[in-house]
Amino acid sequence: MRKSPKDMIDSARIVSRRGVMLGVIQAAVIGTLAWRLRSMQVEHADEYRLLSDGNSIKFRLLPPVRGLIHDRNGLVIAGNEQNYRATITRELAGNVDEVVAKLRLLVPMSDEEAAELLAGIAKRSASTPVSIGDHLSWDEFSSIAVNAPALPGVQPESVLSRVYPRRGDFAHVLGYVGRVSDYDLSKMEDPDPVLMLPEFQFGKVGAENKLEPILRGKAGIRKVEVNAAGREMRELSRQEGQQGATLQMTLDAGLQNYAVQRLGEESAAAVVIDVTNGDIMAIASNPVFDPNLFVRGISSADYKALTEHDHRPLADKTVQGVYPPGSTFKMVTLLAGLEAGVINDGSTFFCNGALEVAGRKFHCWSRGGHGHVNPVQSLQKSCDVFYYETARATGIDRIAAMARRLGIGVEHDLPMSAVATGIAPDRAWKQERFDQPWVIGDSLNASIGQGFVLASPLQLAVMTARVATGREVKPRLVRAIDGVPVETPEFADLGLSERNLRVARRGMDAVINSAAGTAGKSRIVAEEWRMAGKTGTSQVRNITAAERARGVTRNDQLPWNRRDHALFVCYAPFDAPKYAVSVIVEHGGGGSAVAAPIARDILLYALAGGVPPLTAYPDGQRGQIEEMHRNMRLITPVATSGGGSTRA
């Protein structure tokens, strides 16, 4: 059938369009091939040339710079320092034994160390660099660099390594970094490849561990040319990594240093909290240790000395240690009774030195008793019988609920290792723990902070802050991240009667500032810094009836580990609370004689913003205090950004 002129025109148009489309496609393909050929022949000519010469291109991870940690005033408390080291990569080394033998001529290495290095090289994948030596001297480092042509697969490197300029002052709160071990990697589902780098430093304990994700940063990448002998010829490109975040902690380096030194040689702990915002100003555990030892690989002798020390320097007593709080717990029992309405501010109980319940005598610390005692006097004189009677009327469940309300028996959210919950026992707890019913004797023991009750120094500081303010003060350690302040929380009201809180506060004031107070010798005479507090002495041994009959053995006549723990909690100023402090001295004896003076001095340093003026102390103590301060190695913190660069 003959096509019409119109059909012929339409067919021609279709053929023309198809021809154009085919032409465009052909042009695109030819253009792409031409662009690719130009790229291979011009832009990447060097890469293909070196491949043809037997060289190769390798990609190397660049370890990120670890974030700095500052105190609240800008002083670096965890920084970075220059570290010279060298690595060896098996796939580039060829004869590993021969290369290691040559290395031993340049770097001192025992037979045992050489065998350990060879075992490590064999254990790792062929492409993974293995550290030859960390913290090399300049002479060792330069010798390796000069002899690099004869050491295939060996790469000298200048990197940054963690350093703690304040040494032991922040050892427990910050913790330390160390080499990533196979055990560390086994605990991770999908470990970051940067952790495989030789000698890469990873947060092991403390804030370094808990804040690892933001301190680590992100790795960079190097593109390098390596010849057939495994020697790195040149760097083709580099993409720097991202430095970890710079953290500003709530801690004050000067106060922390003072607290550590004031604890002296004791096995002890101290915590200072700003009650207005929850900032932990100081959190010190004694004895301290130098975390720099762990960064560089601690020796067996040094580690053994730490683990076998009877004062347990590696243990963080501030948050991991839990102790019977003794009489510092009496504010809990008092407030529980007042809030339950079983006692009021005018209630009195008679103390003749003991209370007999269910055929058993529960003794007061004063054998002769205290006579008639009201709530304020019960704290002032620390009368145990008053609290036995209060506990009988209140019941343990109410006391336990008040303890948790005040911060005991709860885990506080801090970036520190193994933060303890403590124990605020009640009926259900004992039934679950021991499959036994609660008995009245348990309540009486708990009322004075003995028996099953356990609290950490951190919890006792929080308790004191909450009593002082009537608000749910929550402790915190991080103040800012990369210069951005962490939001200061609004603390909820505890919902306690202000009248009842005033009773507890007046009692704590009387402990310090009245003639009959148990800690009158530790008062602050500067009225603007008037202090309120509570002593505590917790037993670590049972006292038999026979011993009571002949007279209780004094602490100084007992072996150290059989002596009572000494405790003290306090806050100031009395009328406008700013800081709360808790101190425990393990096996220190009496709280009033041992713990109270330490806590008073630390609190005064916080209030004064430095070494306290002698006029704040009672006249008869000023000479002794002046001598003590003269012998301390105190620091004067100066804000600085040293110790490495900052990302902020």
Is 80 exceeded by the pLDDT of residue 442? yes
What's the pLDDT tens digit per position in 484-494? 999 988 999 99
CA distance 557 to 440: 33
Identify which has the larger pLDDT, 41 or 569: 569
Where residue 543 falls among pLDDT bands split at 50, 70, 90? low
What's the pLDDT tens digit per position in 79-138? 998 877 788 888 778 888 888 888 888 888 888 888 888 887 887 777 777 877 777 777
Least confident of 118-132, 377-391, 614-628: 118-132
Question: Residue-wise over 556-570: b if at least 16 C-beta within 10 A, else e?
Answer: eeeeeeebbbbbbbb
- What is the set of domains in the chain, with CATH numbers? 58-249 (3.90.1310.10), 253-286+319-476+483-631 (3.40.710.10)
pLDDT at res. 389: 97
Where residue 539 falls among pLDDT bands split at 50, 70, 90? confident
Non-local CB neighbours of 604 within 8 Å, separated by 6+ positions:
524, 529, 612, 616
What's the pLDDT tens digit per position in 270-328? 999 999 999 999 999 999 999 999 987 788 899 999 999 999 999 999 999 999 999 99
CA distance 37 to 16: 31
Phi-psi region of 21 (alpha: psi -120 to 50; beta: other; left: phi over 0): alpha
Locate 515 and state its tokens. 């003639």
The three-state DSSP-derived secondary structure of 262-293 is HHCCCCEEEEEEECCCCEEEEEEEECCCCCHH
Average pLDDT over residues 417-429: 97
pLDDT at res. 546: 59
Average pLDDT over residues 527-551: 78
What's the pLDDT tens digit per position in 231-245? 666 767 777 889 999
Where residue 264 falls among pLDDT bands split at 50, 70, 90? very high
Q: What are the C-alpha distances in Å from 571 to residues 112, 273, 333, 461, 515?
A: 57, 9, 19, 9, 19
CA distance 271 to 606: 11
Half-sphere exposure of 396 (CA within 13 A, CB side): 24
DSSP assignments along 528-539, one per residue: GG--EEEEEEE-
pLDDT at res. 71: 97
pLDDT at res. 595: 96
**Whole-number percent of the chain with pLDDT over 70:** 87
CA distance 510 to 162: 48
Locate 419 and state its tokens. 């933060």
For 21, list phi and psi in degrees, rounded to 5.
-60, -45
Where residue 48 falls among pLDDT bands split at 50, 70, 90? low
pLDDT at res. 542: 67
Is 60 exceeded by the pLDDT of residue 230? no
Q: What does the mean pLDDT of the chain come to? A: 87
Q: Which of 585, 593, 596, 600 is nearest to 317 (CA)?
A: 585
pLDDT at res. 645: 39
Average pLDDT over residues 133-152: 79
Residue with tokens 């290792």: 417
Where residue 644 falls among pLDDT bands split at 50, 70, 90? very low
Q: Which of 153, 203, 162 is nearest to 68 (CA)?
A: 162
What's the pLDDT tens digit per position in 498-510? 999 999 999 999 9
pTM of the model: 0.83
pLDDT at res. 643: 44
pLDDT at res. 239: 79
Contacts 24+ apart (CB under 8 A), 93-102: 93/152, 93/153, 93/154, 93/230, 94/152, 94/153, 94/229, 94/230, 96/121, 96/153, 99/151, 99/152, 99/153, 99/154, 102/147, 102/150, 102/151
Half-sphere exposure of 568 (CA within 13 A, CB side): 32
For 471, list phi and psi in degrees, rounded to 5.
-120, 160
CA distance 173 to 171: 6
pLDDT at res. 132: 76
Extended strands (E) in 303-373: 349-351, 354-357, 360-363, 371-373
pLDDT at res. 73: 95
Locate 145 and state its tokens. 């660099």
Identify which has the larger pLDDT, 527 or 643: 527
Average pLDDT over residues 593-615: 96
Is 70 exceeded by the pLDDT of residue 475? yes
Angle between helices 440-447 and 396-405 (to 10 degrees): 30
Cβ atoms of residues 253 and 96 within 8 Å: no
Non-local CB neighbours of 358 within 8 Å, separated by 6+ positions:
439, 440, 441
Q: Are strands 579-585 and 268-274 parallel, antiparallel or unpaired?
A: antiparallel
DSSP state of 296: S
Q: What are the C-alpha distances in Å from 513 to residues 49, 379, 382?
A: 87, 12, 14
User: Which amino acid appears at position 211 of this protein?
Assistant: L
Average pLDDT over residues 391-401: 98
Burial of 227 (0-12, 13-18, 19+ CB in 10 A): middle
Average pLDDT over residues 349-362: 94
